[in-house]
Structure 1
């Protein structure tokens, strides 16, 4: 993504195609074979209301994507959102891009197992610049943008916008937490620390070992480009999207729908 040179497109037309863009800042979990094999467990343990997030995302897309529309999926590795949309909307076609080839392979396997025809989905190994020019009727970028460095957010979103038709929707969801003093301004843990602690607590309540959840929280705090909700909305507008509306909040995660200006 962003300023990094895109990988040459590798269009895979097996009976399904692949997910998650592997960015230099993307965790090794998206390249480690054992971690990739366990990927499907992760979102539901880490993201409050994950299945509802998928359903809401496709409902928002369907408000504007026609019955035989074409959808761009940025960060398509793993294939969870591709499978969800493909089964719910049998007339839609998809182009997915992801920097992790193992995650794309996993997506292809998932789609094949779900019975999704290979001629409906094309997967590309690389960043958003690797994706076809479109124009697309809509796009998603779920649980991906927090891996993109702050200075690359706007250029990345511009690349998505350039591939969309006027008025087309973009649905994004990722880590996004407030900054500032803690509740009551008492000098205790800041708001960001509070929400990241709740993020870890949700993982523990979902069956993740305490030490693993604590390590994940610390890595998020130290390594990921987690913006505030206000900053996230600002970068969407700066990239040329309008009608920016928050539709989802799950502890440290937020989701927005926006549209390309006419």
Structure 2
């Protein structure tokens, strides 16, 4: 496992994993809507009612992308990958509660560590890129996903983009979002300080496009946006 992946995985320890489901829905206004649209975009890309194998990278925590997609498409099967054991355990519990473990392979590690197997029909990478420091780590994970997809297969990428400090109004609104949900003024200041120090998002939508194209994907289409967050779909190049 690379040092970048190890550092990112360590952030999601037992304490952070335990609060992830609640915190993520506050941090991302439209959390459930984004995941619903992810499932819809995959179904629109693959065709509804067909069997498909979906690679879910960074599935730990809620496993929401699997829960939502599985409800829409009962013939899909999933491989859930995450380097954080506490986060993956939470995902596995959610999948078990919904009766989805029979349709899901759970893999502790990185996508680069997946053994050779038939290429996947589609993949998702949600809430991961902005936790990887530097462009090289971002490129490496996207490239690793590309090599495990069929030519033309769709990839959903979702996460924060834009340097946080470069958008003070969005950052202030993000703080107000926490206050709206009951956080104290001190707690909001602490969260703003943490986000400024704890992540490295791509600095623009153009940077996301560039990373995808360098990794072997075509032009991405954005289908969801919420403050710093964006979600895109792109297809693996045919060659």
How far apart, CA to CA, are the structure 2 residues paired with 1:174 and 1:152? Answer: 15
How far apart, CA to CA, are the structure 1 residues paired with 2:195 and 2:41? Answer: 28
Q: Which residue of 2 aligns with 1:163?
A: 148
Q: Which residue of 1 aligns with 2:103?
A: 120
Query: Which of 218, 241, 244 does residue 193 from structure 2 map onto?
Result: 218
Q: CA deviation at 1:49?
A: 0.7
Within a 5 Å distance, the mapping from 1:221-232 to structure 2 comes to: 221-227=196-202, 228-232=204-208
Change (3 A) 1:36 1:105: same
Change (3 A) 1:46 1:232: same
What SS does the corresponding residue of 1:63 show, helix, strand or coil? helix
Q: CA deviation at 1:219?
A: 2.0
TM-score w.r.t. the length of structure 2 is: 0.89
Higher relative contact order (CA 8 A, sep 6+): 1
Gaps of at least 5 residues in structure 2 are: none
More helix by share: 2
Q: Which residue of 1 aligns with 2:235?
A: 259
Q: Which residue of 1 aligns with 2:74?
A: 90
Change (3 A) 1:172 1:209: farther
Answer whether contact 2:154 2:236 (CA < 8 A) is retained: yes
Work out whether 1:110 is the aligned partner of 2:94.
yes
Answer whether contact 2:9 2:84 (CA < 8 A) is retained: no
What SS does the corresponding residue of 1:213 show, helix, strand or coil? helix
* 1:44-78, Cα deviation, whole Å (9 max, x unpaired): 11101111100110111112335210000010101
Aligned residues: 232
Q: Give the aligned CA root-mean-square deviation in angstroms.
A: 2.1
Work out whether 1:99 is the aligned partner of 2:74.
no
TM-score w.r.t. the length of structure 1 is: 0.81
How far apart, CA to CA, are the structure 1 residues paired with 2:124 and 2:160? Answer: 15
Q: Which residue of 2 aligns with 1:153?
A: 138
Change (3 A) 1:178 1:37: closer
Q: Which residue of 2 aligns with 1:53?
A: 34
